[in-house]
Structure 1
Amino acid sequence: MDTPSTLADNPRSSVNEHIAARLRALRDARGVSLAALAERTGVSRSMLSLIERGESSPTATVLEKIATGLSVPLAELFSPVPTTDATPPSPLRRAAEHVVWRDPASGYQRTEVSPAGATDFARIVDVSFPAGAHIAFDTTHYDAPVHQQVWMLEGAMHIRHGDDTYELSVGDTLAFLLDRPTAFHNPTRSEARYAVVIVPSAASRPRLP
Structure 2
Amino acid sequence: MESRLAARLAELRTERGWSLDDLARRTEVSRSTLSRLERAEISPTAALLSRLCAAYERPMSRLLAEVESEPPQLVRADAQPVWHDAPSGFTRRSVSPPHPNLRGEVVEATLAPGADIAYDSPPPVPGLEQHIWLLDGQLEITTSGTAHTLTPGDCLRFRLWGPTRFRNTASAPARYALVVVLP
Provide TM-score, normalisation by structure 2: 0.87
> For the aligned residues, what is the CA RMSD?
2.3
Query: Who is 1:73 aligned against?
Result: 59
Map 1:90-129 to 2 at 5 A: 90-115=72-97, 117=99, 120-129=102-111
With over 3 angstroms needed to count, the CA separation of the structure-2 counterparts of 1:82 and 1:187, relative to structure 1, is closer
- Unpaired runs of 5+ in structure 1? 1-14, 202-209
Cα shift at 1:54: 1.0
Q: Which residue of the other structure, out of 151, 160, 168, is the alignment partner of 1:178?
A: 160
CA distance in 2, matches of 1:116, 1:180: 22
Q: Partner amino acid for 2:109?
A: V
Query: Who is 1:6 aligned against?
Result: none
Map 1:145-160 to 2 at 5 A: 145-160=127-142
More strand by share: 2
Q: Which residue of the other structure, out of 157, 179, 183, is the alignment partner of 1:197?
A: 179
Provide TM-score, normalisation by structure 1: 0.77
* Maintained 8 Å contact 1:156/1:167: yes
Percent pairwise identity: 37
* Maintained 8 Å contact 1:61/1:136: yes
Query: Who is 1:205 aligned against?
Result: none
CA distance in 2, matches of 1:162, 1:32: 33
* Matched residue count: 182
Query: For residues 87-127 of structure 1, what are the alpha-carbon distances to aligned partners after superposition, in whole Å with 9 as ceiling and x for unaligned?
Result: x7532222232111111321111111224546741121110
- Unpaired runs of 5+ in structure 2? none
User: Is 1:21 aligned to residue 7 of structure 2?
Assistant: yes
